[in-house]
Structure 1
Amino acid sequence: MSQRLTLQTLAENLIRESQTPFTLEDYVSRIQERWRRRIAPDTLDHLKAKLNDHDYLIEVGDNDFLPFRLILNRLGRIPLVINPGTVEQEKGLLVPGHRLAPFVSCELEEGELVFVDTEGREVPKKRKTFFIEDVIPFFQYCDERHFPDQIKVNQFVPGKSMLTLTAWDVRPLYSAYGLKPGDAMQARLEDYRGGVFSLHPYPAEKGREDRIRLRSLYIALERVLSDLFTRKRQRPDRLDKQLLYALFTLAERRVEIPAFSLPGMVENLNRMHVVRDEVRGIHMAPAHPAGPDPYVWEAVEQTPSGRTGSLAEIFEDMGLAFNDLEFKAILVSMMATDDFDIEAVFDLLFGAKRDRFYDERQHKAFYRYLRKMLQGICEDLQCPEPKPVSDIRNETVGIKLRLIQILRYLESQMVNLEDLPAEMLEALADLDEFCTETLEKLSDRLNPPDVKSIRDMRMTLHMIGPDADLIEEDIYDNLGIY
């Protein structure tokens, strides 16, 4: 015999079934429509009051709510990165902890979770006992409801206290997926209410490819989380709600979310950090850093003084993105091959600084040094050059011009270097450092580097080429998320 439907059950079902945003008025109207009986004002007020703290609702404004079902449907199956810890690697086990946040239902205990492989076969689990110091880091950001409680305390050496919890045997997956040291796994949500996740391989190479995208994602998430906390400072949401709202906000902005890692995000935060208190529970709050954020590459304000002592001094005085030896190597490539459009290259190099000579004296000095440099290059071009050397110079010039093009693009979008993620700045700086060192060595056509240096340059070019492609893609396609 089926149980009689109560008003409380009806209200709960409405919340869990909702797949669209709704207001307080919508909620009341739906309850009254389905209940079809008079509801006492006090009872209705009680139902309204429970919305703010409901486990499966996020309040996004005055009496506006987002249901979890809508958010989970929108986010799809965002992969969660699980980097194995030392004890997990040694024993071939998985202790998920907070690495499944924010996709673990608050109604489930960790032992009730289910993991399956790519073929749908369930991964076996068992209760295991560990030293608390080996596994407690996996639960650092867990809600109290998911924190393990079977602890045998060692009063003399607290770090050697024992903790019993559920672990999953993933040794067969390591073998089947061909995982090596440094590789990780990805968990994808299959069933939120049932706590079912599928496990997939995540090779270290893929992790390196996603590194800049993940850093960009964390920067964007931090901004959303900061805005959310400002709006709800008095009553901040618990951590999983904050994360779901932030991810949902980015998804609504059509930002591609390649993967997510709560520990990875926390490590990359500058303005927010995770806090835990008895009243509000665990949540994100401003970190109030003591000083400015560090950046690898910074825009330096140039104060021209009209120096004319050399081409290097003029370039430095104008604040150009290259030095005189790099410029000479670029000219050599342009004059020795037909691969470059001279007019387009000069416009790229000097277009942003046009008419910015300090005075006519500096302007004339520049063209005097330029004529002298061009005469020397013309003489050098009469002598043959090994093809590997010219190929390396041309490729490096191409990368340098692409970097300058990125700077011009950022200027056109009114984006400062300090607005970019630190990891992207580091990658840009690494590429620029290679270009500067290589072009300086290849600027003297008659005195090429030794064979070993040429081999090292060629090998480095093969390695950094994909990095340059990735940075361009990230800046030109995803600049909006910064």
Structure 2
Amino acid sequence: MAPMITPKEIEKVLNGALAAAPGGRITVAQLAGLLPAMETDEDREKLFERLERELDGHERLFRNFADGSYSLRERFFNGQCFVVTPDDYEIEHNILVPGHRFAAFCAEDVFPSEVTLLSSNAGRELETRRFDAGLPEVIHYHLLLGSEQLFDFFIAESPANAALLNHDAAPVKTVELNVFDLTEFYRQNQFSSGDALLLTVENWEDGVFRFQYLSSLERRDQAVKQWIKAFDTALEQVIDRFDDYLEITDQLRWGYFLGGAALFGNTSASLDEYIQNTSAIAVNVENSGHSVLVKKDFARDDELLVPDEVSISRGNVSNFNDILRDIGTTLTAAEVDSYMLDQCFRRDLAFDSFFSRCFGDRKLAFADEAQEVSFLNQLEERWENLSETYNRYEDEAKAELRSQILDLVDERTAFFDTLQALEVETDHLPESEMRRLAESALYLSNLLDLLNAPGNTLQESEAEELAELIDEMAVTQEEAIAALNAFMEKGSEG
């Protein structure tokens, strides 16, 4: 009879072996050799299978797929550097919201606001303080924690946030958070938009980081863009290998692991910059409420979207979001898909009707015929995909919210059409108001991604909550456009 081996015994032997192993690596065979010997081949095979399951599911280990060995996550992350980019809201209030910024770089049991930040200059631990904030202003700092954990996180942050779960009361608009106080740090470094923090992982297990100032002058747009593409590739490997099994924070950890050392350092993008600028990866909420990172690409791999004879273009032809930016429209892929779904809800399934509504009579600035052909092929592919799989019953609760957001998209698009007609350069307009307009557009686009996710259903309370957020974004956009129009009118009078 095979000797009984308890999980505690395996864990004890594993910890000892990893502490003694060079580089903190171990294989299933090595671990099995340290446990009581099995008498038969069948028992040995069962032990190997059990150990492989144990190690694959171990939250402190990565599997090295090239050789089948396992290594400690803390050995991989300790000493590595990554970037955090505070935004204008945080700089204005002299704070840093922990949110999802550090979750991928420390053990799972470290609560986001309980990480330790040490100043590189004095070695002093950064203090936290209570901060009351509007939910729309701070929710985007937490998106990569997973939507199913957001309310649990807020309630764990402060008992005052428990009202978020009171569906009988009016929707909660403010939350109480623990934030890092960066008043002195921002002042000493004359910190401004575009500057960043460079963090070094001091202790992955306990969530200890050392931080220093990283000037915007030391960061290059091209390097950030290259990093985003590299992280796209790494996360696509994670998605291909694990599908939707992992939580978002673990998907990110695996992305860094598979991407390797090249993803660390002062030339990297922050996670906030990544999720705002990636055109390959999106946050998707499944029907079960589980949030995961998924590939954005709707095109089927087995189809050639661009004919051979026109496949060479001076512009972007492969990525739909890049093409949209290239041709001069302010729309995102999420907004284009939303117009398609709204047409389906209206039972208007004519492609020409959708195209006219989405792009109107605007002259799109294609680089050449090849880019135009690629764009139209991809657009028709998306239309066919969404119109053929449209589920009216599932979409009923989301359609009205989507329509409200599209009304705001129409208003924003009309404003930019006016700028183009008047030949006004956006560089000549107030940066603060243009940033407000861009931030509200990004927030609404993220909401559309959430609404468009297949299988994602909304409870009545969730729909009411989203409606409140949309109303607040509507006010932000209206105020920004009004301020910009007032600026142009004042300029024309002068």
What TM-score do you get using the length of structure 1 for normalisation? 0.51
- Structure 1 278/63 Cα, relative in aligned 2: closer, same or farther at 3 Å? farther
Given the alignment of the two structures, is residue 52 of structure 1 paired with residue 47 of structure 2, yes or no? no
CA root-mean-square deviation: 4.5
2: CA distance between counterparts of 1:260 and 1:302? 34
Given the alignment of the two structures, is residue 129 of structure 1 paired with residue 132 of structure 2, yes or no? yes
| 2:226 aligned partner, one-letter code | S
Given the alignment of the two structures, is residue 77 of structure 1 paired with residue 80 of structure 2, yes or no? yes
1: CA distance between counterparts of 2:264 and 2:94? 35
The residue number in structure 2 matching 1:198 is: 210
The residue number in structure 2 matching 1:231 is: 241
- Structure 1 237/71 Cα, relative in aligned 2: closer, same or farther at 3 Å? farther
Match of 2:117 among 78, 92, 115: 115
Is contact 2:129–2:179 with CA below 8 Å preserved after alignment?
yes
2: CA distance between counterparts of 1:47 and 1:278? 33
Given the alignment of the two structures, is residue 158 of structure 1 paired with residue 171 of structure 2, yes or no? yes
How far the C-alpha of 1:79 sits from its partner, in A, is 2.1
* Mapping 1:252-331, distance limit 5 Å: 258-277=267-286, 281-289=290-298
2: CA distance between counterparts of 1:280 and 1:29? 42
- Structure 1 188/84 Cα, relative in aligned 2: closer, same or farther at 3 Å? farther
Match of 2:153 among 147, 153, 167: 147
Q: Percent identity?
A: 18
How far the C-alpha of 1:197 sits from its partner, in A, is 1.6
2: CA distance between counterparts of 1:138 and 1:169? 16
How far the C-alpha of 1:185 sits from its partner, in A, is 2.5
Given the alignment of the two structures, is residue 173 of structure 1 paired with residue 178 of structure 2, yes or no? no
- Structure 1 123/46 Cα, relative in aligned 2: closer, same or farther at 3 Å? same
Given the alignment of the two structures, is residue 185 of structure 1 paired with residue 188 of structure 2, yes or no? no
1: CA distance between counterparts of 2:201 and 2:141? 19
How far the C-alpha of 1:26 sits from its partner, in A, is 2.6
| 2:107 aligned partner, one-letter code | S
2: CA distance between counterparts of 1:81 and 1:47? 37
1: CA distance between counterparts of 2:17 and 2:112? 24
1: CA distance between counterparts of 2:191 and 2:262? 35
Give the secondary structure class of the aligned counterpart of 2:246.
Answer: coil
Is contact 2:84–2:101 with CA below 8 Å preserved after alignment?
yes
The residue number in structure 1 matching 2:461 is: none
The residue number in structure 2 matching 1:245 is: 254
Is contact 2:231–2:263 with CA below 8 Å preserved after alignment?
no
1:188-214 deviation digits (Å, cap 9, x = unpaired): 22221221122222223333x2x2111
1:284-335 deviation digits (Å, cap 9, x = unpaired): 222233699xxxxx9x9789xxxxxxxxxxxxxxx9x9xxxxxxxxxxxxxx
How far the C-alpha of 1:103 sits from its partner, in A, is 0.4
How far the C-alpha of 1:220 sits from its partner, in A, is 1.8
The residue number in structure 1 matching 2:337 is: none
Any gaps of 5 or more consecutive residues in structure 1?
Answer: 34-38, 293-297, 304-318, 322-406, 408-415, 428-482
Is contact 1:82–1:99 with CA below 8 Å preserved after alignment?
no
Given the alignment of the two structures, is residue 222 of structure 1 paired with residue 232 of structure 2, yes or no? yes
Give the secondary structure class of the aligned counterpart of 1:98.
Answer: coil
What TM-score do you get using the length of structure 2 for normalisation? 0.50
1:369-404 deviation digits (Å, cap 9, x = unpaired): xxxxxxxxxxxxxxxxxxxxxxxxxxxxxxxxxxxx
| 1:27 aligned partner, one-letter code | L
| 2:176 aligned partner, one-letter code | T
Is contact 2:248–2:293 with CA below 8 Å preserved after alignment?
yes
Is contact 2:64–2:70 with CA below 8 Å preserved after alignment?
yes
| 1:239 aligned partner, one-letter code | I
2: CA distance between counterparts of 1:20 and 1:421? 43
Given the alignment of the two structures, is residue 28 of structure 1 paired with residue 21 of structure 2, yes or no? no
Is contact 1:272–1:284 with CA below 8 Å preserved after alignment?
yes
2: CA distance between counterparts of 1:279 and 1:179? 42
Is contact 1:117–1:199 with CA below 8 Å preserved after alignment?
yes
| 2:232 aligned partner, one-letter code | E
Is contact 1:221–1:246 with CA below 8 Å preserved after alignment?
yes
- Structure 1 117/128 Cα, relative in aligned 2: closer, same or farther at 3 Å? same
1: CA distance between counterparts of 2:109 and 2:225? 31
1: CA distance between counterparts of 2:262 and 2:83? 20
The structure that has the greater radius of gyration is 1
